[in-house]
């Protein structure tokens, strides 16, 4: 007998299957769950006098989703296919017994959990807006393979099911009731069970609509003139978003539409075939690896110092109420922490707070935040022009201009006023932390907290450990980042840290391609096709060509001061030329590689095409993509070699969340795994021979490839 589920039959012949997996706080779909479910179904089938079945959970959630460990290990499509077909056969057996089957949804039912609920005749859910229902598989590169595609399509129709399947849209029970995915709402668990029992008594025989002769697909069959135009455009809509880097939404659409044209069981089989393709495919492995295993490892404190008790930040000070400063203040206040927002003057600080008020106001208007919550957030923020108001802050984050003297000044000022055992953090994106810490009277309590813009939307915070930063400071910074709902990665002090340094190579390689006379738009298109959120030239504009040039000049100076020579690459030379000869400083100046007219969207500056004579040989897009992605991956390996970044998870998630490195590839290091280390080294050597030593694979990587190792 399985321990995962209990079989309870009452005097009225109603069987309750209680999902209660031992040793876990939640129920998850795995092989044991499936076997237990199969046993339960067999028992119902053999038991005499069963009047109906309720599937319920003894946990706070219904079923949280699938346990990805076993899915991640699936490599053979045949085995994957056999497994899901078996799971589906069990569901089919239950829904075809003829007796009523009800899902009693007491809590969140996601992924495989929602698929269990879909295989019942009637869903009763507790009306709690925190309960999430849906199929988020696609966000991990997967396809709902346990009947989810087929049943959702038949319940909602093709068009209505699209966002739930191809985008992983989640809803609460009330929203689900409105569209018929949930049949009844209950006030609490007792009401839910009572309603489930009542429905069973009122419906002594039951079947699924798709098993009845009069079944018609809601909204119309694929061939219907009402549906056909939408189906024709759907693949193009997917492609617009994915550049064909993500097979899951494509295969989900295929399983939906092809499944709609055939019998239910054939549709399930088609779904299993696509599931097998997707689950064993590289992109799903990459995405599961990054967005599940590695993200969980980070959140479990993988890069937090061991043996330091959890810390709590009670009150923070933010220096500088500009874009970054008020953004940091906003996300901190949202998490319930008190904030002192300080700028040079009260007026400037007030302006920062007003910007926050605008942000929360927008959320209230959109119905995403209650007015009371918005007011509470604003109440937590004190805007001030006085340093003395930092008294009692156990963490101060400075977000003033990138100017060493200014930063030194505010550091001293804040340290004098704040809690003396508190931590001072700099939000610098470029200046080495160890150097900035020179201004501090407590350099062991000095750390870098590199937020990304816009702060309320970017999930990453890069924590930079200076030479003297102690472990307790790192732990506090880490806990703070977690508290405000961001993802922390930990890096050591170095020029550009991790994110700016690696992401800079993307822009520079785009500029190098341009310098070789490649078509400017072709370079941008290659960046997008590679899976980057923007083309390299656009990113260069956004960061600021003048800023990039300024950093290069600073680097040259710093190196010269050390008696070293710094050879400028083609990208750096071009950035200099843009600033000095062309006066094109980037987006904020309204003129970069692009023009930014007041009316209408941006477009490439016509002169961008003419900066260099066109190359005689057009580089194929695939090779441009290799160059753009390889350089970032190689630079990441160099960062690891130099100890700038340690954890593979930090490197991968930092690249995806920090600058949008191709999520399909699972991050800069997972990209190398996925490419295959041997093949990656060989290709790097080819690129180095053609384009220069920046593509030389580091010795560490060559050794890893030779010894069959991967980044884990």
Partner 1 sequence: MSNEAIIFDAVRTPRGRGRKDGALNEVPPIELLATLFRALRERNKLSTGEVDDVIAGCVMPVGDQGADIARSALLYAGWDQSVPGFQINRFCASGLEAVTLAAEKVRSGWSDLVVGGGVESMSRVPMMSDGGPYVGQPLANLDINLVPQGVAADLLATIEGFSRETLDEFSIRSQRLAGKARDSGWFTSVVPVKDRNGMMILEKDEAIRPDVDMAALAKLKVSFQQMAEFGFGAVCLQNWPEVEKIRYLHTPGNSSGIVDGAALVLVGSAAKGKSLGLKARARVVSAAVVGVEPSLMLHGPAPASRQALKKAGMQLSDIDLIECNEAFAAVPLRFMRDMGIDDMDTLNVNGGAIALGHPLGATGAMLVGQAIDELERRGKSTALITLCVGLGMGQALIIERV
Which long-range contacts link 437-444 to residues 24+ away (Cβ below 8 Å)?
437/466, 437/467, 437/468, 437/469, 438/408, 439/407, 439/408, 439/409, 439/411, 439/412, 440/411, 440/415, 441/412, 441/415, 442/415, 443/468, 443/469, 444/468, 444/469, 444/470, 444/473
Interaction between residue 208 and partner 1 (CB under 8 A): no
Which residue stretch of 77-85, 361-369, 606-614, 670-678 sits at the interface with partner 1 (rule: CB under 8 A)?
Answer: 77-85
> Alpha-carbon distance 343 to 323, whole Å?
12
Shortest CB 643 distance to partner 1, Å: 43
CB nearer to partner 1: give 266 or 346.
266
Which residue stretch of 16-24, 85-93, 264-272, 550-558 sits at the interface with partner 1 (rule: CB under 8 A)?
Answer: 264-272
Interaction between residue 516 and partner 1 (CB under 8 A): no
> Alpha-carbon distance 166 to 153, whole Å?
11
CB atoms within 10 A of CB 96: 12
Asked if residues 313 and 476 have their Cβ atoms less than 8 Å apart, the reply is yes
Shortest CB 266 distance to partner 1, Å: 5
Residue at token pair 């450990």: 465
Which residue stretch of 182-190, 259-267, 309-317, 609-617 sits at the interface with partner 1 (rule: CB under 8 A)?
Answer: 259-267
Which residue stretch of 269-277, 469-477, 556-564, 620-628 sits at the interface with partner 1 (rule: CB under 8 A)?
Answer: 269-277
Asked if residues 592 and 584 have their Cβ atoms less than 8 Å apart, the reply is yes
Task: Write the DSSP symbol of residue 498.
Answer: T
Which residue stretch of 173-181, 267-275, 530-538, 650-658 sits at the interface with partner 1 (rule: CB under 8 A)?
Answer: 267-275
Shortest CB 361 distance to partner 1, Å: 50
Shortest CB 135 distance to partner 1, Å: 22
**Residue 320 CB contacts under 8 Å (≥ 6 apart), including other chains:** 342, 343, 398, 399, 400, 401, 410
Shortest CB 89 distance to partner 1, Å: 16
CB nearer to partner 1: give 76 or 201.
76
Sheet of 170-171, strands arranged across: 109-110, 133-134, 170-171
- In the chain the first and final C-alpha atoms are separated, in Å, by 37
Using the rule CB under 8 A, which residue among 12, 188, 263, 379 binds partner 1?
Answer: 263
Shortest CB 276 distance to partner 1, Å: 5
CB nearer to partner 1: give 257 or 354.
257
> Alpha-carbon distance 347 to 271, whole Å?
60
Binding to partner 1, residues 4-33 (CB under 8 A): none
**Which two structure tokens, joined as six digits, stand for 219?**
């909204």
CB nearer to partner 1: give 81 or 164.
81
Shortest CB 313 distance to partner 1, Å: 51
**Which two structure tokens, joined as six digits, stand for 359?**
């942000």
Binding residue count for partner 1, defined by CB under 8 A: 16
Which residue stretch of 75-83, 507-515, 561-569, 651-659 sits at the interface with partner 1 (rule: CB under 8 A)?
Answer: 75-83
Which residue stretch of 8-16, 122-130, 268-276, 544-552 sits at the interface with partner 1 (rule: CB under 8 A)?
Answer: 268-276
Interaction between residue 280 and partner 1 (CB under 8 A): yes
CB nearer to partner 1: give 280 or 384.
280
Using the rule CB under 8 A, which residue among 93, 174, 239, 269 binds partner 1?
Answer: 269
Question: What is the maximal distance between C-alpha atoms in the chain?
Answer: 90
CB atoms within 10 A of CB 226: 11
> Alpha-carbon distance 381 to 671, whole Å?
42
Shortest CB 145 distance to partner 1, Å: 13
Question: If we measure between CA atoms, which residue out of 500, 406, 415, 494 comes closest to residue 450?
Answer: 500
Interaction between residue 273 and partner 1 (CB under 8 A): yes
CB nearer to partner 1: give 280 or 585.
280
> Alpha-carbon distance 246 to 234, whole Å?
15
Interaction between residue 223 and partner 1 (CB under 8 A): yes
Asked if residues 107 and 59 have their Cβ atoms less than 8 Å apart, the reply is yes
| Active site amino acids | 450
CB nearer to partner 1: give 64 or 84.
84
Q: How are beta strands 603-604 and 594-595 bridged, if at all?
A: antiparallel
Sheet of 122-126, strands arranged across: 5-9, 14-19, 52-57, 101-105, 122-126, 184-186
> Alpha-carbon distance 302 to 325, whole Å?
28
Shortest CB 622 distance to partner 1, Å: 16
Shortest CB 141 distance to partner 1, Å: 16
Helix 621-641 vs helix 648-659: angle between axes, to the nearest 10 degrees? 130
CB nearer to partner 1: give 258 or 444.
258
CB nearer to partner 1: give 270 or 537.
270
Interaction between residue 622 and partner 1 (CB under 8 A): no
Interaction between residue 81 and partner 1 (CB under 8 A): yes
Which residue stretch of 113-121, 158-166, 257-265, 501-509 sits at the interface with partner 1 (rule: CB under 8 A)?
Answer: 257-265
> Alpha-carbon distance 460 to 71, whole Å?
27
Binding to partner 1, residues 413-472 (CB under 8 A): none
Using the rule CB under 8 A, which residue among 32, 258, 373, 623 binds partner 1?
Answer: 258
CB nearer to partner 1: give 273 or 549.
273
Using the rule CB under 8 A, which residue among 266, 296, 441, 703 binds partner 1?
Answer: 266
Shortest CB 223 distance to partner 1, Å: 5
Interaction between residue 262 and partner 1 (CB under 8 A): yes
Please write down the HEC assignment for all residues of 86-137: HHHHHHHHHHCCCCCEEEEECCCEECHHHHHHHCCCEEEEECCCCCCEECHH
Interaction between residue 276 and partner 1 (CB under 8 A): yes
Q: Is the dihedral of CA 429, 433, 437, 443 positive or negative?
A: positive
Interaction between residue 183 and partner 1 (CB under 8 A): no
> Alpha-carbon distance 608 to 592, whole Å?
9
Interaction between residue 246 and partner 1 (CB under 8 A): no
Using the rule CB under 8 A, which residue among 20, 72, 77, 239 binds partner 1?
Answer: 77
CB atoms within 10 A of CB 420: 11
Using the rule CB under 8 A, which residue among 16, 57, 277, 428 binds partner 1?
Answer: 277
Q: Which residues bind partner 1 (CB under 8 A)?
A: 77-78, 81, 223, 258, 261-263, 266, 269-270, 273-274, 276-277, 280
């Amino acid at each position: 007998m399985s321990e995962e589920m209990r079989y309870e039959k009452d005097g009225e012949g109603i069987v309750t299957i209680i999902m209660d997996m031992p040793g876990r706080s939640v129920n998850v779909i795995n092989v044991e769950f499936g076997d237990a479910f199969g046993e339960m179904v067999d028992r119902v089938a053999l038991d005499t006098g069963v009047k109906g079945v309720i599937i319920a959970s003894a946990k706070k959630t219904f079923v949280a989703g699938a346990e990805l460990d076993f899915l991640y290990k699936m490599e053979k499509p045949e085995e994957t296919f056999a497994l899901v077909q078996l799971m589906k056969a069990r569901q089919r057996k239950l829904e075809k017994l003829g007796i009523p089957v009800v899902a009693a949804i007491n809590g969140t039912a996601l992924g495989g959990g929602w698929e269990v609920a879909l295989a019942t005749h009637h869903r009763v859910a507790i009306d709690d807006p925190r309960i999430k229902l849906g199929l988020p598989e696609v966000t991990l590169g997967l396809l709902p393979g346990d009947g989810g595609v087929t049943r959702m399509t038949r319940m909602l129709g093709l068009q209505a099911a699209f966002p739930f399947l191809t985008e992983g849209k989640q809803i609460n029970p009330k929203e689900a009731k409105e569209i018929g995915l949930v049949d009844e709402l209950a006030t609490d668990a007792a009401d839910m069970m009572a309603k489930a029992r009542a429905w069973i008594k009122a419906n002594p025989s039951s079947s699924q609509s798709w098993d009845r002769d009069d079944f018609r697909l809601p909204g119309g069959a694929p061939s219907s003139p009402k549906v056909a135009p939408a189906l024709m455009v759907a693949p193009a809509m997917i492609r617009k978003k994915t550049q064909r880097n993500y097979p899951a939404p494509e295969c989900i659409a295929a399983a939906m539409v092809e499944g709609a044209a055939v019998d239910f069981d054939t549709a399930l089989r088609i779904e299993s075939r696509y599931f097998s393709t997707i689950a064993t495919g590289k992109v799903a492995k990459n995405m599961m690896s990054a967005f599940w295993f590695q993200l969980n490892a980070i959140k479990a404190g993988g890069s937090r110092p061991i043996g330091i008790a959890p810390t709590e930040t009670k009150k923070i000070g933010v220096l500088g109420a500009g874009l970054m400063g008020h953004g940091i203040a906003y996300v901190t206040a949202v998490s319930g922490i008190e904030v002192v927002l300080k700028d040079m003057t009260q007026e400037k600080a007030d302006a920062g707070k007003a910007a926050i008020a605008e942000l929360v106001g927008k959320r209230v208007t959109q119905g995403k935040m209650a007015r009371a919550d918005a007011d509470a957030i604003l109440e937590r923020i004190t805007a001030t022009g006085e340093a003395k108001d930092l008294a009692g802050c156990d963490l101060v984050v400075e977000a003033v201009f990138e100017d060493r003297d200014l930063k030194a000044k505010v550091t001293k000022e804040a340290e004098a006023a704040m809690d003396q055992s508190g931590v001072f953090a700099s939000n610098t994106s470029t200046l080495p932390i160890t150097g900035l810490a020179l201004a501090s009277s407590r350099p062991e309590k000095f750390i870098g907290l590199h937020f990304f813009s816009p702060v309320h939307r970017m999930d990453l915070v890069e924590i930079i450990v200076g030479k003297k930063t102690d472990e307790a400071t790192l732990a506090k910074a880490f806990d703070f980042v977690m508290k405000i709902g961001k993802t922390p990665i930990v890096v050591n002090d170095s020029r550009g840290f991790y994110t700016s340094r690696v992401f800079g190579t993307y822009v520079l390689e785009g500029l190098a391609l341009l310098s070789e006379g490649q078509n400017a738009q072709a370079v941008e298109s290659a960046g997008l096709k590679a899976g980057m959120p923007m083309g390299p030239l656009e990113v260069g504009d956004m960061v600021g060509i003048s800023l990039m040039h300024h950093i290069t000049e600073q680097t040259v100076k710093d190196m010269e001061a050390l008696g070293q020579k710094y050879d400028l690459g083609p990208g750096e030379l071009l950035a200099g030329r843009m600033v000095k000869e062309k006066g094109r400083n980037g987006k904020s100046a309204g003129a970069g590689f692009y023009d930014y007219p007041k009316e209408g969207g941006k477009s490439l500056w016509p002169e961008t095409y003419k900066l260099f004579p066109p190359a005689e040989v057009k580089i194929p897009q695939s090779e441009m993509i290799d160059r753009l992605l390889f350089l970032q991956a190689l630079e990441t390996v160099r960062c690891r070699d130099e100890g700038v970044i340690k954890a593979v998870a930090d490197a991968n998630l930092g690249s995806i969340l920090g600058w949008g490195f191709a999520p399909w590839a699972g991050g800069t290091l997972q990209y190398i795994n996925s490419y295959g280390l041997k093949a990656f080294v060989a290709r790097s050597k080819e690129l180095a021979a053609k384009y220069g030593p920046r593509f030389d694979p580091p010795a560490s990587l060559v050794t890893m490839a030779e010894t069959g190792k991967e980044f884990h």
